[in-house]
Amino acid sequence: MTRRRGTPARRGHGRLDFAAINRAALPHLGTLCIRWLPGGKQQGDEWRCGDLRGTPGRSCSVNLASGKWADFAAGISGGDVISLAAAIHNLSQAEAARSLAEMLGLDLGEHHV
């Protein structure tokens, strides 16, 4: 993943810019899925695996173009890379956003909310 120093991941008053973090993460979603969901495989614009633990199978799908995802067996879904990271790693949305921003080398500024 290309580190992008200086890309703002915060908006006014120290709030995380979830949209900016999602935009920055989306081009790397295929690589993230390989890392986070290792038992899966790419099928067209989808990453398919068994579940959010990354087991082999087809019950969980991540759209690599949009970031929307669903674990159909568990009945959970989300609309972006941050929510996927949160679900996989059992993090809050803010914790997942911070983790992704750090991984991508985005500038969070001096104060963490």
Output the average pLDDT for the chain: 88
Q: Could you tell me the CATH number of the domain that includes residue 19?
A: 3.90.580.10
Residue range(s) defining the domain that contains residue 38: 10-104
Q: pLDDT, tens digit, for every residue of 45-87?
A: 999 999 999 999 999 999 999 999 999 999 999 999 999 999 9
Q: pLDDT, tens digit, for every residue of 7-16?
A: 445 554 468 9
Among 107, 77, 90, 98, residue whose Cα is nearest residue 36: 90
Among 26, 103, 32, 36, residue whose Cα is nearest residue 67: 26
Q: Is 3 inside a domain boundary?
A: no
Q: Is 82 inside a domain boundary?
A: yes
pLDDT at 107: 82
Q: Is 16 inside a domain boundary?
A: yes
Domain count, the chain: 1
User: How do beta strands 46-49 and 69-71 pair?
Assistant: unpaired
Q: Is 110 inside a domain boundary?
A: no
Q: Say if residue 5's pLDDT is above 50.
A: no
Q: Is 76 inside a domain boundary?
A: yes
pLDDT-derived band at 109 (thresholds 50, 70, 90) equals low
Q: Is 112 inside a domain boundary?
A: no
pLDDT at 108: 75
Q: Say if residue 98's pLDDT is above 80.
A: yes
Q: Is 2 inside a domain boundary?
A: no
Q: Is 39 inside a domain boundary?
A: yes
Q: pLDDT, tens digit, for every residue of 16-50?
A: 999 999 999 999 999 999 999 999 999 999 999 99
